[in-house]
Amino acid sequence: MLKVTDLVVSYGGIEALKGISFEVEQGQIVTLIGANGAGKSTTLRTISGLVPPKDGRIYFEGRDITDLNTQKIVETGIAMVPEGRRVFANLTVLENLRIGAYLRKDKDAIEEDINYVYDLFPRLKERSWQLAGTLSGGEQQMLAVGRAVMTRPKLIMMDEPSLGLAPLVVKDIFKIIQTLKDTGMTVLLIEQNANAALHACDYAYVMETGRITTSGTGEELLASEAIQEAYLGKTSKS
């Protein structure tokens, strides 16, 4: 579904991505794991059209989307749940969801999708008229996911969805990611909680300083001693 080839991104004179290539198969959960500064967020921002690449190409469903602007990329069927949630704090839950559908004209289907999001996240329905800025961190993350779902994406990209959340809420978020997959969506996930991400994903890529150094199924990487040592805290070097 998504193919990234030889992607290079520079900030000033610093190369944040040094020619990475990877693929995301339709219907899978694919995760990028790595330490802070590895280039994970830059990868998602580049796919989204927020950061221009210096070199390399991005293909979505066989179409070259490298040079499209962000709105056009959303129209192709890619949505992003940004790091830090970034809900519109002074708008209600319902208003935030409607903003997610701003490119759509199908009013009846929009109402159906709002109800679908409420089915996914009953707490959002209870708080539909509450200002988003007054929600808990977990509820804001649910709202950020719901807002992305309102674009009717084929591929949903998530940047650190568990960041700063309590362990029980993190479990809920990963259940929702699995539910999205079960409903036919493809998920590209960036997550510092490598253990949770590898348990949830079909395939994973490990990023280090702008390069992809390892890849494999979630099970394969969970079983790797090198990955356990570097990311899962299984040795004294954690």
Domain segments of the chain: what residues?
A: 2-85+152-231
Does the pLDDT value for residue 238 go beyond 70?
Answer: no
Position 45: which residue type?
A: R
pLDDT given at position 218: 93
pLDDT given at position 197: 92
| Burial group, residue 122, by CB count within 10 angstroms (0-12, 13-18, 19+) | exposed
Which H or E run contains 41? helix 40-47
Task: Tell me the pLDDT band of 236, cut-offs 50, 70 and 90.
Answer: very low
Give the pLDDT confidence of 26-57 residue by residue, as tens digits: 999 999 998 888 999 999 999 999 999 999 99
Beta-sheet strand order (sheet of 211-217): 78-81, 155-159, 186-190, 29-33, 203-208, 211-217
State whether CATH 3.40.50.300 applies to domain 2-85+152-231: yes
pLDDT given at position 235: 52
Task: Tell me the pLDDT band of 237, cut-offs 50, 70 and 90.
Answer: very low
Least confident range from 20-24, 101-105, 170-174, 184-188: namely: 101-105
pLDDT, mean over the chain:
91
Does the pLDDT value for residue 65 go beyond 90?
Answer: yes
Evaluated on CA atoms 28, 157, 192, 99, the torsion sign reads: negative
In angstroms, the first-to-last Cα distance of the chain is 35
Q: Is the pTM of this model over 0.85?
A: yes
Does the pLDDT value for residue 68 go beyond 80?
Answer: yes
Task: Tell me the pLDDT band of 74, cut-offs 50, 70 and 90.
Answer: very high
- Of residues 184, 164, 161, the one with CA closest to residue 173: 161
Query: Is 108 within 8 Å of 71 (Cβ atoms)?
Result: no
Q: Using CA atoms, how far apart are residues 152 and 155, in angstroms rounded to an integer?
A: 9
| Burial group, residue 195, by CB count within 10 angstroms (0-12, 13-18, 19+) | middle
